[in-house]
Chains A and B, each alone.
Chain A
Amino acid sequence: MINFLILPILIPLVTGVLLIFAAKHIMLQRLIAGLSALITVIVSVLLVKKVNNDGIQTLNLSNWDAPFGITLVSDMLSALLVLTTSIIALACVIYSFRGIDEDREKFYFYAAVNFLIVGVNGAFTTGDIFNLFVFFEVMLMSSYVLIVIGGTKIQLRESIKYLLVNVISSALFVIAVAYLYSVVGTLNMAHISVRINEISELGQPGIITVIAVLFLIVFGLKGAIFPLFFWLPGSYYAPPAPVLALFGALLTKVGVYSIARTYTLFFYQDGGLIQQLLTILAVISIILGIIGAIAYWDIKKIVIYNIIVAVGVILFGISAMTQDSLIGAIFYLIHDMNVKAALFLLVGIMAAITGTSDLRKISGLIKRYPGLGWTFFLAALSLAGIPPLSGFVGKLLIIKGGFESEHYWGAGIVLMSSLLVLFSIMKIFINGFWGTSRDYEGADKVSVKRMMAAPVILVAIAVFYGVGSEFVYPYISQAAETLANPGIYIDAVLKEY
């Protein structure tokens, strides 16, 4: 079936529409949302297998040959990210059955989640730069809905900021596409690469570099790199836990993915300037992220700032541009999506039990909730990249790549960032789970066991992902190979070109 790769976009899309019809029936909504998320996961697994067996999958929509129509491209990177997204979506949907209030469920919560997944999967899959913009908008509009739904004061206030920043970044995206179109006259990403390659024999023209930087700003705003990340901590603080998990795990990563894609496909012949810029920004992001992470006594904030650290680490891997560092970056990207989702859900449970996210008001949780405590402990170690859990191999390869490309300082900072990440996250464990146990009002109403299902699945994946790196490695290295050799991607898209 040639349309197979569109299914991870199409299934959530149809589900989202159906959920509009089912808005008033919560149980029906849960059933549809859960089932469809499960099916999407299965389909994504099959897609990864298909890409593994048959090579890069492409689909020329409306049957117009590339580069004239819109082409969807599932290479291994995209397929893996789609799979990860689908898994996280499933986890968040399951969590939401207990973790979100019924009022929100009635007001199209699940529909918005599904549309968000449409946008994210679409952004990972599309091979057309303007279509990427459209999927960004799908994703963003859904995120606007998710961040504001419920209409509490903090949500409304932070939504304004979130919206404003993203409206600006969207406008910049449009003009970046406009500039690019002016110079190369095409929108298909493989075709853009071919054309830039044609004119870059004597070095990449300056205007391409300028456009590259503009794209970096656009995607950097989404991916929350320094100095474009200011909006993130506040905005992510506002929505409820499952939404936060989706945002923290997926949204910034779409920005990171886009940087990885465009910088390896179009802008790789620049002779170092952009790479250097990227490296510097990545390292500063790590540092500022860490400073933020250790600064706060709020469990949500701590994890939120860790998003910025992770983005920096991944980008550092991408900017080092060695084979190892690219493999490491992809390893780490997928790891981080998974483990961030788990952490946000766990932090959500903590907040649900205690009614606060202020760490100074929480203590001794492990006595009553040992399962929660140990799941958190494992997730925390994963986040810090402690072997054999999931973060390790990625970090190892990124650092190795960093040393190889002689970015000693940067690689050293990535290395030592683990320590402070660990410190920041273990602060939650030491103070929140250890210590004298307290009684919390309303803690009995929280069905912790049922809420635990989703994070436990994610943490189990993290463990497998780390211990079973050998199984994962061939896929990841295949994904990195496409990044390292744009020719593979181009040949797959423009077969007869």
Chain B
Amino acid sequence: MKTNDVILQTATKVVLFLIVLFSVYIFFAGHYTPGGGFVGGLLTSGAIILLLLAFDMKTVEKILPVNYMYMIAAGLLFAIGTGAGALLFNVPFLTHAFTDVDLPILGHLSLHTAALFDLGVFLVVVGVTMIIIKTIGEDD
């Protein structure tokens, strides 16, 4: 899927940036408005796929030198770890904690372990989607 279309590539970069931005927003907003780890992760991988379509596999690998299998494992560890943290405090597994903090510059923030959990979800979703696309893509 090699293509040298400069316009497409430039456009892709712009769109990619937008999508990633959007997906990050979606990811963080998830607790309050529609979104969350899934959608965020899917959108991000959508962006990477777009990158794949615009450039070739090698280029993308150069830009994003990620072992997606490890990414999946790391995501899972994140999610499990968030839950397993509860084991240390002898509260039920996956018990979340949250607190509101006021930071000087960022202002009012809600720190929530659920967000860490959702990050795990995000990583797994990106990793899985990429693994699927990549392995099939490489096989062709």
Contacts and interface: CB of A to CB of B under 8 A. Distances in A.
Nearest to B91: A63
B69 interface: yes
Contact of B72 (A6, A20, A62, A63): A20
Contacts of B77: 14, 17
Given A1-B90, A3-B93, A61-B93, A10 B80 contact: yes
B73 A6 contact: no
Interface string A356-382: 000000000000000000000000000
A116 to B, nearest CB: 16
A61 B94 contact: yes
14 contacts: A1-B87, A1-B90, A3-B93, A10-B93, A13-B76, A17-B80, A20-B69, A20-B70, A20-B73, A21-B70, A21-B73, A62-B92, A63-B92, A63-B95
Nearest to B84: A10
Contacts of B70: 20-21
Contacts of A1: 87, 90
Interface residues of B, number: 17
A3 B73 contact: no
Contacts of B91: 2, 63
Interface of B: 69-70, 72-73, 76-77, 80, 84, 86-87, 90-96
A291 interface: no
A329 interface: no
Contacts of B86: 3, 63
A6 B91 CA distance: 12
B90 A2 contact: yes
Contacts of A61: 92-94
Interface string A1-21: 111001000100110011011
A60 B80 contact: no
Contact of B93 (A21, A23, A59): A59
A6 B93 contact: yes
Contact of A2 (B69, B92, B96): B92
Contacts of A3: 86-87, 90, 92-93
Given A2-B92, A13-B80, A59-B93, 16 more contacts: A2-B90, A3-B87, A3-B90, A3-B92, A6-B93, A10-B80, A10-B93, A17-B76, A20-B69, A20-B72, A20-B73, A21-B70, A21-B73, A59-B92, A61-B92, A61-B94
A3 B92 CA distance: 6
